[in-house]
Amino acid sequence: MFGKCVLLLTICFSAPFVFANDVDLLVQNYTYKHPIVKLKWDWGESIFLYGLSKYPKFNDLLKTYTEKWVEKLPPNIDKSDRCPAALAAVKMVQTGLVPEGKILAELVENYIKSETQNELGTLDHLGHSWHSFFYASSVWVDSLMMYTVFAGQWGKLKGDKELISFALSQPMKFAQVLQDPKSGLFWHAYFFQKHQTVPADQNFWLRGNGWALTSFIELIDAFTGELEWRFEIGQIIEIFQSLAKSIIQYQKKNGAFETILNRPGHSYDETSGTMLVAYAFAKAHRLGLLDDRYLISAQKAFAFGQTQLKKSKNGLSLGGISGPTNPGSGFTYKLVPRKSDLHYGVGAFLLAASELLGH
């Protein structure tokens, strides 16, 4: 016990000390570059907004975004990436700040309920959008975060058992084709026509595994203690713990994980995925699902994220975020360039900070 305390203190005092106000400075810089009223209805922006949703002090920003899209209405909901922006509306309906946000949530709900399911019982990541021409009949690990979290949260708020049941069934279905029985990690995608995972080899994408971890812990948090769903939640907890055990072994001494997760030294340290892992580990520890070594891992990962914060004239900028990534051969992941202040990377940092810095 004494050793654990010493290690925790070592981490705390060796890492850059970041005040909670630095979250404000990061949001300040981001919203200067990307005013809320101009944010698209898209997946990257939605992860930033989801990070904001963990802080009541940012509710006004979520309110502005939701009211804009209530008035304008979003683009056609035709793929998974168009779903998570409605999480802001769920929050605003839940708090009573924008009851009309129900309109937006129902658009996504209608997509989830009406979209043709594949043979696995999930939704193809690209739905019926024109993009599906290039990646036909495929399930991507990204979708766990893109539509499953919304389905669970909106279903719970509405008391919609059909939507809840669908949401809670997805982790097990995704794991059937995407979780590697050897490593325990999740591949990026599975193509039904070829019955093939992508990548086809033992290269596992960090952010994709971060999406999986985060979606699992959000569903667990929302439904733990509800007797009707105890069996499903028990299954999700097993998958979550198995994945967490697989991931932690690849953390580097500097706290980071690399974009090709299971090959440290082969690619590069990546901020967004590392922050998603930090968030999920820390939250799971708080919920009593992971032991102290995962909290220590989360603290080390977040300390790495802090090193990626740089001063800018408008606040703080966050670097080291890999760009949008499509399924491909293993070597392609390390070719994706890193940039600063990408929406989802900032959102992932906000999520991690909500557990590791407090509000």
User: Domain limits of the chain?
Assistant: 15-356
199 vs 179: CA distance, rounded Å: 12
193 vs 136: CA distance, rounded Å: 8
DSSP track, 167-223: HHHHHHHHHHHHB-TTT-PBPSEEETTTTEEESSSS--BHHHHHHHHHHHHHHHHHH
Q: Has residue 19 got a pLDDT over 60?
A: no
- Confidence band (pLDDT; 50, 70, 90) for 358? low
Topology of the domain covering 15-356: Glycosyltransferase (1.50.10)
Sign, CA dihedral 251-253-256-259, equals negative
Q: How many CB atoms lie within 10 A of CB 288?
A: 8
Closest CA to 322 of 306, 333, 308, 311: 333
User: Pick the residue with more confidence: 334 or 8?
Assistant: 334
19 vs 55: CA distance, rounded Å: 15
Q: Has residue 6 got a pLDDT over 60?
A: no
Average pLDDT of the chain to the nearest whole number? 94
Q: Has residue 7 got a pLDDT over 70?
A: no
Distance of CA 158 to the CA centre of its chain: 23
Residue ranges of the alpha helices (H) in 15-160? 21-33, 43-52, 59-72, 86-95, 102-114, 143, 149-158
Lowest mean pLDDT among 82-96, 125-139, 316-330, 341-355: 125-139
- Confidence band (pLDDT; 50, 70, 90) for 101? very high
- Mean pLDDT confidence for 250-258: 98
Whole-model pTM? 0.94
107 vs 331: CA distance, rounded Å: 38
Question: For residue 132, what pLDDT is reported?
Answer: 78
Helices 59-72, 43-52: crossing angle, 10 deg rounding: 140
pLDDT per residue as tens digits for the range 138-150: 999 999 999 999 9
- Mean pLDDT confidence for 186-200: 95
- Mean pLDDT confidence for 199-204: 96
Q: How many CB atoms lie within 10 A of CB 234?
A: 11
